[in-house]
Structure 1
Amino acid sequence: MQILQGSVEFLLSLGAAVFVPVIMIAAGLAVGMRAREALSAGVTLGVAFSGMTMLIGYMTDAITPAAQAMSTTVGVDLPITDGGWTTMSTISWSWPYAFLMFPLVVGINVVLILARQTETFNADLWNVWGKIFTAVAVYSITGNVGLAFVLAAVQTVFELKAGDFHQHRVEAMTGIPGVTITHRMVFIAAPMYLVDCLLRRVPGLDRSFNAADLRNRIGILAENHVLGFILGLLFGVLARFDVAATLTLAVQAATALTLFPVISRYFMQALEPISEAISEFMRARFRDRRLYVGLDWPFLGGSNEIWIAVIWTVPVTLLYSFFLPGNGILPFAGIINICVAVGAFFASRGNIIRMIIQCTIFAPVFLWAGTAFAPFMTELANTTRAVDLAAGQSISNSSIDAPIFTYSLSHLMQVVEGNWLPLGIFLAWLLCFVLYSRSLVRERDQARAEAAAGGAPTVQA
């Protein structure tokens, strides 16, 4: 048992930029890729992950001082420290039973593939900590380890099904074949879908308006470098920076938005040969099946709509944190909220205006979830010494992935204590998930029918 725990901890300590390529190289070799091709694809994938991580860190380092300046100007005092996702991951892995989650997740995936209940091979095993995070909260509430793993298993199944349902839209919107997203962050797209249905009824919001449409309408002002510069300028002004600092932030934002699509191309270069090899392997053995590779979100980084929504959400989230009732967290480490932008990207089909509206509506949910999880994560951090906290200090994350799903599932058993709110929230989310999934399946089936008939797939706004 200790050997298994040590092996899992060692592999995961390598980080996504090493761990995920190792998984993909092994998968490539297993399905018959030549060793040099599998190695090349895996190393390229590692380069892509490292590049995306560097850019996000660069962007976070640029924007965080501006966010701090805004909070200082307002003079708020919120007690919960925002540790970001990296701190939450560290704390989650410090749970004594954490290493058991890895074989559970892999086992569920294998069983569902063999039972023909999923078409997704989840290579995003590094993010198994997201299931541990849910289990930690369940264990903190109930004290029942078995129940913690049962609900984490439920989350795993939902992630795989979300990967199945999203695959066609992922391929259509990114141009990368044979891949899908299995990160729980897409769960928030389910309630966003219902909001988007309403927004599409508003005149002017029912038409396509993605980054390409924006460039066609306003020309050079919508080019990545110019748009990033403008957004950086606006944020510098909001932070009351001096001229030099404002211009510096503008150039940094321009740099980030210019390089994100460049890095994204490396994901395509790495993933295409691996996904083709896996598909060919499946076709040879199961003529009626195709297996898709489930990944973390960074391969979506070439979608400019996501970054426009991310930058928009920064000042919006800060303003909410100052005045939102029930909020106790000041967003810093989690200020770059990829989760809300990715959810809005899929729910709104890349429509920038609807994405911005969705991010504005759902940003408070992340603050409430961060506040709700602070007691559990603080207790675990203090118990395991995974993070050094000062006396009385609380810690959480202002951009917890899938806040509605994660909160409601992890708090579900509070119903035995008479708290029916988590159950009500979970059932509402589940209804949204079913309706959203049906829309994704209809879209996929329609595209396949049109392709079979020789027509061009219908493009939806």
Structure 2
Amino acid sequence: MDFLSSVVSYILNLGAPVFVPFIMLLAGLIVRMKFKDAASAAITLGVAFVGMSMLIGFMVGAIGAAAQTMMERTGLELSIIDGGWTTMANVSWAWPYAFLMFPLQVGINIFMLVIKKTDTFNADLWNVWGKIFTAFIVLAVASPIFGSVTALVLAFVIASFQIIMELNSGDINQHRIEKLTGIPGITCTHRMLFFAAIYYPFDLLLRKIPALNKPMDAAALRSKIGVFAENHVIGFILGVTFGIIAGYDVATILMLGVQAATALMLFPMISKLFMQALSPISEAISDYMNKRFAGRKLFVGLDWPFMGGSSEIWFTVIVAIPFTLIWAVILPGNKILPFAGIINIALVVPAYILTNGNTLRMVILAIIGVPFFLFVGTQFAPMITDLGLATKAIDIPAGQLISNSSIDAPVFTYAFSFITQFMQGYFIPLALAAYWCVGYFFYAKELRKETAQAQTQDNTN
């Protein structure tokens, strides 16, 4: 058992830039791609992942430091350290039962493909840690209520539910994702897309406002305001604005402007590498499936970075930062200081898909969404800290709490992890779970209708 755990942990700890391309290489060979073509595509995918990670790290170093300075200037002290997603992943993998989640995810995926309850092959196996995270939170919450054995079973039941919903989310979002990215046969199976169910009722209201229901993506903005909608110009303006708010000197302000301009200009370039890598593999998989399963397509589910070329995403991410800091100050009960998670992709990508890239609605939804992340980050801090201390996965000073201000799918993760607390008279998680289910049902209904209409149109043409 320990040997199996060590092997699985070693493989997954290689990280997304190594592990995901390896999975895609195997997938390419299985569907009879030539080795040189599959290997080239896999290596290009690894390069794309590394490039995107480097740019995000660059953004965190530049913009995140400015945000930290802004917060320090307020003199506010928030007691919970924001360790970011990497800290959460390290803590999750230190959970004693973590190695069981990998075969569980693969097994459920294969079973659902066989019984035709999904058309998505989830190649984003590295992010299995998200299910581990959910499971150990469930165990921590449910153990005092049911005992450790029953709570452990419940933890894996809820993790299995998350695996199933990630596949379902990949299915229903695929058409819109393909339309936005131009990459055929690819979808996103990351749990961050679950947050669209929370946004959905708000977006329905925003759509009723005429000014917010017109094309407002990067292309539309360029046609209206010209050079001021170019990535590098937007980045420079936002960087300079942040530098001024942070109280930097002129030289540092201008450098921050150039750094932000550099990041926003390079993101679309890196995104093209994802398209270059994924297109031949997805086409090979589609051809393979069409030969063996008449009329059935198989989608490849991946992490979000292949959508990272969207100017709308990065514009919204940066604009959301000052509002995140404002919410951190004024939100009752918040104790987490946003820092490592200040570049909050999970806040924006669901809004991008939901709004079809409508930048103005994305910004409004992101502002609405921030409190959910801060609330959940605060609620999870004691359990994350306890596991970190117990496993010694991370160094935590005595008396210090640690969490993450950008936990993926915060409402889903919190609601279903804490849902058993209704037995102790605490009904907020149960209410949020009901809200999420209703929002997801109607959002999925809209996406399925849109996909069906597109398929009908294609058949007509």
TM-score between both structures, scaled by the size of structure 1: 0.98
Q: Percent identity?
A: 55
Q: CA RMSD in A?
A: 0.8
Q: Does 1:38 align with 2:38?
A: yes
1:11 counterpart letter in structure 2 = I
Residue 72 of structure 1 aligns to a residue whose secondary structure is helix
Answer yes or no: is 1:323 the counterpart of 2:326: no
Q: What amino acid sits opposite 2:362 in the alignment?
A: M
**For residue 27 of structure 2, what is the aligned residue in structure 1?**
27
Q: Does 1:137 align with 2:142?
A: no
Provide the residue aligned with 1:459 in structure 2. Answer: none
List per-residue Cα deviations over 1:308-332 (Å, max 9, x = no partner).
0100111110111112111000000
What TM-score, normalized by structure 2, do the two folds share? 0.98
Residue number among 365, 371, 376 corresponding to 1:358 in the alignment: 365
Shift of 1:31: 1.1
1:350-394: CA deviation from partner (whole Å, max 9, x where unpaired): 100000000011111100010010011000001001111111000
Name which of 148, 156, 162 aligns with 1:149. 156
Residue by residue, what CA displacement relative to the aligned partner does 1:103-135 show, whole Å, maximum 9, x if unpaired? 000000000000100000000000000001100
One-letter identity of the residue aligned with 1:34: K
- Partners of 2:310 and 2:277 lie apart in 1 by 17
In structure 2, distance between residues paired with 1:3 and 1:35:
31
Partner of 1:436: 443
- In 2, the alpha carbon distance for the partners of 1:371 and 1:243 equals 36
Counterpart in the other structure of 1:311: 318
- Cα separation, 2, equivalents of 1:65 and 1:346: 29
Question: Cα distance, 1:407 vs. partner?
Answer: 0.4
Question: Residue 400 of structure 2 corresponds to which residue in structure 1?
Answer: 393
In 2, are the aligned partners of 1:236 and 1:246 still within 8 Å (CA)?
A: yes
2:29 and 2:4 mapped to 1: Cα distance?
23
1:51-130 matches, cutoff 5 A: 51-130=51-130
Deviation sequence 1:232-270 (CA, Å, 0-9, x none): 111111111111111111000000000000000000010
Deviations 1:31-75 (A, max 9, x none): 111111110110000000000000000000001221111111100
Counterparts of 2:459 and 2:413 in 1: how far apart (Å)?
A: 39
Task: State the distance in 1 between where 2:194 and 2:274 align.
Answer: 23
> Which amino acid in structure 2 is aligned with residue 141 of structure 1?
V
The runs of at least 4 consecutive aligned structure 1 residues that moved more than 6 Å come to none
Aligned to 1:334: 341
Measure, in 2, the Cα distance between the counterparts of 1:272 and 1:361.
Answer: 35
Could you tell me which residue of structure 1 aligns to residue 217 of structure 2? 210
- CA distance in structure 1 between the partners assigned to 2:40 and 2:3 by the alignment: 30
Letter of the aligned partner of 2:387 in structure 1? L
The aligned counterpart of 1:272 is 279
SS at match of 2:155: helix
Match of 1:406 among 408, 413, 416: 413
- Residue of structure 1 aligned with 2:172, choices 154, 162, 165: 165
- SS of 2:336's equivalent in the other structure is coil
Which amino acid is 1:231 matched to? Answer: L
The aligned residue for residue 148 of structure 2 is: none
Name the SS of the counterpart of 1:204 in structure 2.
helix
Alignment size in residue pairs: 454
Deviation at 1:203, TM superposition (A): 2.1
| Structure 2 residue 391 is the aligned partner of structure 1 residue 380 | no
Residue type at the aligned position of 1:125: L
Q: Partner residue of 1:233?
A: 240
| Unpaired runs of at least 5, structure 1 | 455-461
Instruction: Tell me, in whole angstroms, the C-alpha distance in 1 between the residues paired with 2:93 and 2:184.
Output: 33
Distance across 2 between alignment mates of 1:86 and 1:329: 17
SS of 2:315's equivalent?
A: helix
Which residue matches 2:9? 9
| Equivalent residue in structure 1 for 2:261, among 254, 257, 266 | 254
Q: Tell me by how many angstroms 1:449 deviates.
A: 1.2
Distance 1:447 1:193 in 2: 21
CA distance in 2, matches of 1:416, 1:288: 47
> In the TM superposition, what are the counterparts of 1:282-293 in structure 2 within 5 Å?
282-293=289-300
Amino acid across the alignment from 2:263: A
User: Given the alignment of the two structures, is residue 179 of structure 1 paired with residue 197 of structure 2, yes or no?
Assistant: no
1:127-158 deviation digits (Å, cap 9, x = unpaired): 00000110010011112211111100001101
Instruction: Kindly provide the amino acid, as one letter, of the partner of residue 170 in structure 2.
Output: G
Q: Which moved more, 1:319-328 or 1:125-134?
A: 319-328
- Match of 1:411, SS state, is helix
Q: Does 1:445 align with 2:438?
A: no
Q: Secondary structure at the match of 1:121?
A: strand
Deviation at residue 412 of structure 1 after TM alignment: 1.1
Q: Could you tell me whether the CA contact under 8 Å between 1:412 and 1:423 is conserved in 2?
A: yes
C-alpha deviation, 1:2, in angstroms: 2.2
